[in-house]
Structure 1
């Protein structure tokens, strides 16, 4: 995955007046995908999602996907393998956030150490995935 792609994605979003970015990682282990659940008192509490977080100022989208995966799960991203697409959503401030989603390979798939979520699960992609947004569901269909 190249930094050119990350720069192009950011430029395209900014051209659409979207300036808040989130980077997200689809972490797999065999036929399973890692989902984490937002704490009940968080914005969109109880929602299951893929590890993700804000892209900080001066940070690339690819750097953020590595950092956020480590911060939220304790897992180290060995490689960012491919771009899976993006979706936009209204954030807690009422503005639009663009979430960029990447398939990644983790150095190891455990132990998962949560810092910002209350639960995690390794879910079968072929199974029913309740409690996720349509945006995440569409991204997972591309894995």
Structure 2
């Protein structure tokens, strides 16, 4: 699976597309969401998942692990699958965002990054509309795609 991620990353870089990752942290059939601080430049006050830009020399999965650690204090355990991929533009640049379904190690109480997130919650498949506040319907689509990906996983 990781070889495919490397190929996707290399192709995006060749095309000059910026890379972003997101982590749909799965626990007991729910995904974790955090509310972005109200003074953030992008999507202030909106619900989001841990994630961000892929830094130079970093792999997609390496970026997921780093962003999880920075934004929640959690350590990546396992990447269960890819929920969705989509492109969007910011300041005239195309960004490609990869949303992964993951599990984390240890305590499932997030330590949210100060100044960047103000609260967190666990969202079940019947409550994905709750992350679409402030017109941010893309987050609902991401959570719905995450639950569809979970449904497609092989039972263990």
Per the alignment, residue 121 of structure 1 pairs with 121
What is the CA-CA distance between 1:44 and the residue it aligns to?
A: 1.1
- Give the gaps of 5 or more residues in structure 1: none
What is the CA-CA distance between 1:48 and the residue it aligns to?
A: 0.8
Closer, same or farther: CA 94–109 of 1 in aligned 2, 3 Å: farther
Per the alignment, residue 105 of structure 1 pairs with 103
Root mean square deviation of aligned Cα: 1.9
Count of residues paired in the alignment:
140
Secondary structure in 1 matching 2:11? helix
Deviation readout 1:67-102 (Å, 9 max, x if unpaired) = 1011101111111121222112222x2322111111
**48-57 vs 78-87, which moves further:** 78-87
What is the CA-CA distance between 1:110 and the residue it aligns to?
A: 2.1
What is the CA-CA distance between 1:18 and the residue it aligns to?
A: 4.4
Per the alignment, residue 94 of structure 2 pairs with 96
Per the alignment, residue 11 of structure 2 pairs with 12
Closer, same or farther: CA 90–138 of 1 in aligned 2, 3 Å: farther
- Give the gaps of 5 or more residues in structure 2: 151-156
Per the alignment, residue 61 of structure 2 pairs with 62
What is the CA-CA distance between 1:126 and the residue it aligns to?
A: 2.1
Secondary structure in 2 matching 1:129? helix
Question: Residue 125 of structure 1 contacts residue 140 of structure 1 at CA under 8 Å; is this kept in 2?
Answer: no
Question: Residue 52 of structure 2 contacts residue 67 of structure 2 at CA under 8 Å; is this kept in 1?
Answer: yes
Distance, in Å, in 2 between the alignment partners of 1:109 and 1:85 is 26
What is the CA-CA distance between 1:103 and the residue it aligns to?
A: 1.0
Q: Whose helix fraction is larger, Structure 1's or Structure 2's?
A: 2
TM-score (norm 2): 0.79
Distance, in Å, in 2 between the alignment partners of 1:120 and 1:109 is 15
Deviation readout 1:16-53 (Å, 9 max, x if unpaired) = x3421111111011121101111111111011111111
